[in-house]
Amino acid sequence: MSGALCSGTGGGTSPEGDDGYLAPGRWQISFGYRRQKSDRAFIGTDEQEERRRLGVISINRINLFDVGVSYGVTRRFSVSASVPFMIATRTRPGNVDRLAGIPNAPDQVNKSVGFGDVSVSGRVWLVRPPAEKRSNISIGFGIKIPTGKKNVSTVVDTPTGPQRRFNDQSIQLGDGGFGFTIDALAFRSFNRFTLFGSGTYMFNPRNTNGVPTGRPRPSEAVMSVSDQYLARAGFSFPIRKIRGLAFNIGGRIEGVPSSDVFGRSDGFRRPGYAVSIEPGFTYTRKKETWSLNVPVPVVRNRIRSVPEIRDNALDAAAFADYLIMAGYSRRF
């Protein structure tokens, strides 16, 4: 599935008392990492097991790093900026050509390395910290700036010799469009555990970005600039024998919609979503926090795009068996 909204770390819970909030005049720097290998093809919710047996599924390997910085303006309001860096490959197996009667066809490997689209946002807590009832809700608004290259290309080996081709949409560094985000985060702490939930939607009003896809259908000749979304909910409880360590468990859904909320939705995209169970750990020591989350999909669904609905077609999309997300942050 083409680039889902993601951050380097899946996060743990919301702040749990006054020490968890970013105080006025204080800074926080964070580092995130996300790793995934997408090698299982789905049409709708049906896995294409025969394609996997034949070895004809294009495989994505993505390593996404993220550096973020936040500043507390007031006790309720903070501003943040994040810069992603991606190292990714997409391998089209030579079996695709060999099964079509072309012997000794090589694998075609595209690679993307570089900075992605920068995001800048602001967040406000609805209740001024500290929240007396150990609960709070925050609302965030942000913009996505198209700093990432949208038309990365690679010289790949083909049956007829080396050729330069644009990388697949799923490993492009950027999408070429200005976007804006709305997100919400809530928590409620009890004696032995904390409930949390969050959701983010990225609006991408631009229709297409003009980058050729090389696909046969005219309706998918150029890349779409698509909306994206992510939502999480669950609970966290402390491991009492290890001070500062907490175990998190919850659910997660992320994906790309078939149609954007604003603007047209032409061009090529792979809409769909993955629903995952997300276990993880968070460890906090003084001003530092480490986190590790490993979402495991239980539902993967490749839905139709607008051009596919018009053309009465549906192609497959590759999903991962699991994600690895790690994070570190420190306050100053």
* pLDDT tens figures, 317-327: 999 999 999 99
Domain assignment of residue 2, yes or no: no
Domain assignment of residue 62, yes or no: yes
Q: Which helix (H) or strand (E) covers residue 229, if one does?
A: strand 228-238
Structural domain of 73:
18-331
Residue 257 has pLDDT above 80, yes or no: yes
- Average pLDDT value over all residues in the chain: 93
Question: Do the beta carbons of residue 174 and residue 151 sit within 8 Å?
Answer: no
Would you say the pTM of this structure is higher than 0.85?
Answer: yes
**Which pLDDT does position 131 carry in this prediction?**
64
Domain assignment of residue 313, yes or no: yes
Counted domains in the chain: 1
User: What share of the chain has pLDDT > 90, as a percent?
Assistant: 89
Domain assignment of residue 7, yes or no: no
The confidence band for 14, taking pLDDT boundaries of 50, 70 and 90, is very low
Nearby residues of 272 by Cβ (< 8 Å), 6 or more positions away: 1, 42, 255, 256, 300, 301, 302, 303, 317, 319
The confidence band for 132, taking pLDDT boundaries of 50, 70 and 90, is low
Residue type, 130: P
Domain assignment of residue 302, yes or no: yes
SS3 assignment, position 50: helix
The confidence band for 155, taking pLDDT boundaries of 50, 70 and 90, is very high
> Span 141-157, mean pLDDT?
98
Domain assignment of residue 10, yes or no: no
The confidence band for 8, taking pLDDT boundaries of 50, 70 and 90, is very low
The confidence band for 18, taking pLDDT boundaries of 50, 70 and 90, is very low
Q: Which CATH number belongs to the domain containing residue 170 in this structure?
A: 2.40.160.40
pLDDT tens for residues 289-305? 999 999 999 999 999 99
**Which pLDDT does position 3 carry in this prediction?**
45
Domain assignment of residue 75, yes or no: yes
> Span 165-177, mean pLDDT?
97
Domain assignment of residue 5, yes or no: no
